[in-house]
Amino acid sequence: MPVTTIEWIDDHIRLIDQTRLPEALVYLDIHDIPTLAEAIRSLRVRGAPAIGIAAAFGVLLTAFQYRGENTDELMQQLHETSQFLAETRPTAVNLRWALEQMMQEARRIAGASVAEIRDVLYRKAMDLFESDRQVCRRIGEHGAALIPDGAQIITHCNTGALATVDWGTALGAIFTAHAQGKKLHVWVDETRPLLQGARLTMWELMHEGIPATLMCDNTAAFLMQRQKIDLCIVGADRIAGNGDTANKIGTYYLALAARHHGIPFYVAAPISTFDFSLQQGDQIPIELRNPEEVTEGFGRRTAPEGAAVYSPAFDVTPNELITAIITEVGVLRPPFQEAISRLAKGE
């Protein structure tokens, strides 16, 4: 993709304001933690890996802005930033994972000088940034191997460059397959209520010249009935130890329809999206969004004032509906519990 979603520029964070897409490609320069927290909460930056990098850069920002020489005071500020950012979005485990990576690094050299802690955190944040790029390329290669030439593919939400540093997971597999010369056609769920599919995935696919068709979320089952679909591929926000997968609301419906029609259903995600501490999906915390995103999304009232709303941002697809999970180290197949416990041990 010709865009980098998030970057560290000298002493601050620069990211694409995704709420402005597809009308305008606008970059935000972020110099303080409350502004970063607002950007994460309001989905200016979104997608599990991208918010992980945003959070890591938030810890780095705190270290860069600390002007004193007291290590304990700096560690306390880093801790507060980390706690504060961890609360911005509860489901995507990459956020907490990245914060923990940064804090572990700071704690590892806690007796060092302020300048040393700042240097170490800078290197760690750059490592996480670079590693996201490489991890996505590897997911892309493993995923592309499952995509046949001529494939008709359904995807949900946005899992592309905009959801990571610059390539993507599920959409990254599609980009890699396309780069290999395969002819593809992608059916894109618009992804209610915030339209990440319509606004962001269509924008990315059209940029890349990959044939794509937008459809309302409630169209997929009918499409599967009428047209040969080869596979569905989606991302993940948190995967439990048994393979149950939290992803954008509507993913579970898609998986059910795919199972009914005998269509392979793939999840693509980095190892940082696995929560090895959870046995199963009902333990994953699910973010509830502001009712106004449903009743007057994008500034137009579409339900009566005062209408009761239920708006979970994610659902959980049970592992038995998932054909395989594509990671940077290879493709996991059922039984997922065994495959994931080997992954946890680094085998």
Write the CB contacts of 267 (distance below 8 Å, at least 6 apart in sequence).
Answer: 170, 233, 234, 235, 236, 239, 245, 247, 317, 322, 324, 325, 326
Which one of residues 33, 47, 75, 190 is an interface residue with ligand MRU (CB under 6 A)? 47
Name the one range near ligand MRU by CB under 6 A: 42-50, 56-64, 175-183, 336-344.
42-50
Q: How far is the CB of 169 from ligand MRU (least distance, A)?
A: 4
Token look-up 């930056």 returns 45
Judged by beta carbon, residue 59 or residue 139, the one nearer ligand MRU is 139
201 binds ligand MRU (CB under 6 A): no
Token digits for 275? 């929560």
48 binds ligand MRU (CB under 6 A): yes
Q: How far is the CB of 34 from ligand MRU (least distance, A)?
A: 20
Write the CB contacts of 94 (distance below 8 Å, at least 6 apart in sequence).
Answer: 48, 49, 51, 52, 237, 270, 272, 273
What is the DSSP pairing of strand 27-30 with strand 152-155?
unpaired
Distance, CA of 72 to chain centre:
33
Q: How far is the CB of 90 from ligand MRU (least distance, A)?
A: 11
Burial zone of 153 (CB within 10 Å; 0-12 exposed, 13-18 middle, 19+ buried) = buried
**CA 53 to CA 95: how far, in whole Å?**
8
Judged by beta carbon, residue 241 or residue 250, the one nearer ligand MRU is 250
| Contact status, residue 121 vs residue 102, Cβ threshold 8 Å | yes
**Residues within window 61-90 making contact with ligand MRU, judged by CB under 6 A:** none
| Nearest residue to 92 (alpha-carbon basis) of 239, 192, 224 | 239
Edge-to-edge strands of the sheet including 6-9?
Answer: 6-9, 12-16, 27-30
313 binds ligand MRU (CB under 6 A): yes
Judged by beta carbon, residue 16 or residue 78, the one nearer ligand MRU is 16
**CA 231 to CA 9: how far, in whole Å?**
39
Q: How far is the CB of 109 from ligand MRU (least distance, A)?
A: 31
Question: 237 catalytic, yes or no?
Answer: yes
Task: Show the CA angle centred on residue 261, arms to residues 257 and 243, nearest 5°.
Answer: 60
Phi, psi of 208 (to 5 degrees): -85, -5
**CA 200 to CA 204: how far, in whole Å?**
6
Residue nearest to ligand MRU (CB): 235
Task: Show the CA angle centred on residue 336, arms to residues 155 and 135, nearest 5°.
Answer: 55
Which one of residues 237, 244, 275, 315 is an interface residue with ligand MRU (CB under 6 A)? 237
Which one of residues 248, 257, 267, 316 is an interface residue with ligand MRU (CB under 6 A)? 248
Give the bridge partners for 239, in sequence order: 245, 274
Which one of residues 5, 81, 247, 327 is an interface residue with ligand MRU (CB under 6 A)? 247
**Residues within window 142-171 making contact with ligand MRU, judged by CB under 6 A:** 157, 159, 163-164, 169
Judged by beta carbon, residue 235 or residue 243, the one nearer ligand MRU is 235
Active site residue: 132, 166, 189, 237, which one?
Answer: 237
Q: How far is the CB of 288 from ligand MRU (least distance, A)?
A: 12
Q: How many residues bind ligand MRU (CB under 6 A)?
A: 18
Q: How far is the CB of 344 from ligand MRU (least distance, A)?
A: 20
Name the one range near ligand MRU by CB under 6 A: 111-119, 145-153, 229-237, 295-303.
229-237
Q: How far is the CB of 290 from ligand MRU (least distance, A)?
A: 12
Catalytic residues: 237
Q: Which residues bind ligand MRU (CB under 6 A)?
A: 43, 46-49, 92, 157, 159, 163-164, 169, 196, 235-237, 247-248, 313
